[in-house]
Amino acid sequence: MPDEVFPYPTVKSVAFEIKFPHLFSIENRIGEFQEQIIANFPESRQVLRQQLMFRDTTDDITLERLRKEINPNSVTKGWVFLSPDKTEVTVHTNSLSIVSGQHKTYDAEGADKKFRDVISYVVNAFLGIIKVPVLGRIGLRYTDFCPVPSNSSEALNSLYNLILPTPKFPLEDLERMHFELITKRKNHKFIYQETFVSPEEMKQSGLEPLPGPFTLVLDFDGFDTNIPANNYLTVTNELHQIIKEEYLKIIKDPIKEYMRTGKIP
């Protein structure tokens, strides 16, 4: 049975990233890469910034490490290429990322605008110009904004299979909850985060909250390290399958109906 493509998906953004050793030749060859993808990514600009999209390791985050990571002096030069549907490709001297805020499907049969096709198109063009034998890291990350229509534990449990133990910590009394799990799935590394975010916190972050007392943010980050470059798509497919399986374990039928109709039955 083919995957269903939902008109109202909960996914807010999906991001793919590869990392490799600093290659200073990229600056001299970025124009060749631009020419390869300009038909689908016509807008471009140069930036100086540091993107903290993915974790490099599963080590504990310390305040000292965070200070180093957000050091404004540790910026890198980058090049951004934008498609008409606002999919963004960013190249730094040690990474390439692709971010989409209008994701519909990764690889559903018969669907238009498969994210896997975008990855293949961009990365094949890049690796055809920049010779990288081994990728230090491959990551695929999905962030979903899911509805919490009321502060009823019973209603919440009818929609999701979550980590939050509502018999012990009822949703009715909850002010905020964040859970993070770092584990392995099918020999790949996997980080799962589950967060209840209030409307006020969403607005403070410049995000539009969903109706209800909270927006449930589900964050799935699959990655692996030291991957032969010619195997990047196989690994990415495996990471996507892990994320898909974990997501489907969490949502229940009413959320699938919500993604079909935009309404919770």
pLDDT digits (tens, 9 = 90+) for 216-252: 999 999 999 999 999 999 999 999 999 999 999 999 9
pLDDT at 110: 80
Residue corresponding to tokens 């540091």: 50
Rounded to 5°, angle at Cα 33 from 231 and 132: 35
**Pairing relation of β-strands 214-228 and 188-197?**
antiparallel
What number is the average pLDDT over the span 99-104? 90
| pLDDT band at residue 111 under the 50/70/90 scheme | confident
Does residue 5 fall inside a structural domain?
no
Estimate to the nearest angstrom the gap between the alpha carbon of 68 and the chain centroid. 23
Nearest to 159 by CA among 249, 253, 259: 253
pLDDT band of residue 118 (cuts 50, 70, 90) is very high
Enumerate the H helices of 160-218 as residue ranges: 199-204
pLDDT digits (tens, 9 = 90+) for 44-92: 999 876 544 555 444 444 445 444 444 444 567 899 999 999 999 999 9
Under the banding of pLDDT at 50, 70 and 90, the label for residue 126 is very high
User: What is the per-residue pLDDT for 2?
Assistant: 57
Q: Is 81 contained in some domain?
A: yes
- Pick 108 or 157 by higher pLDDT: 157
Average pLDDT of the chain? 90
The tokens describing 237, both together, are 């497919």
| Total domain count, the chain | 1
Least confident of 3-7, 51-55, 157-161: 51-55
* Structure confidence at residue 200 (pLDDT): 94
Domain that holds residue 188: 11-261
Nearest to 223 by CA among 238, 210, 208: 238
Residue from 103, 101, 86, 85 nearest 259 by CA: 103
**Is 74 in a helix, a strand, or coil?**
coil
Tell me, what's the pLDDT at 4? 87
* pLDDT for the residue numbered 70: 44
The verdict on residue 216 lying in a domain is yes
Q: Does residue 114 form part of some domain?
A: yes
Decide if 2 is inside a domain.
Answer: no
CA angle 219, 145, 149 (to 5 degrees): 130
Q: Is residue 175 part of a domain?
A: yes
Q: How far is CA 209 from the centre of its chain?
A: 19
Residue 265 vs residue 182, higher pLDDT: 182
Residue 40 in any domain: the answer is yes
* Residue 201 forms part of a structural domain: yes
Could you tell me the pTM of the whole model? Answer: 0.88
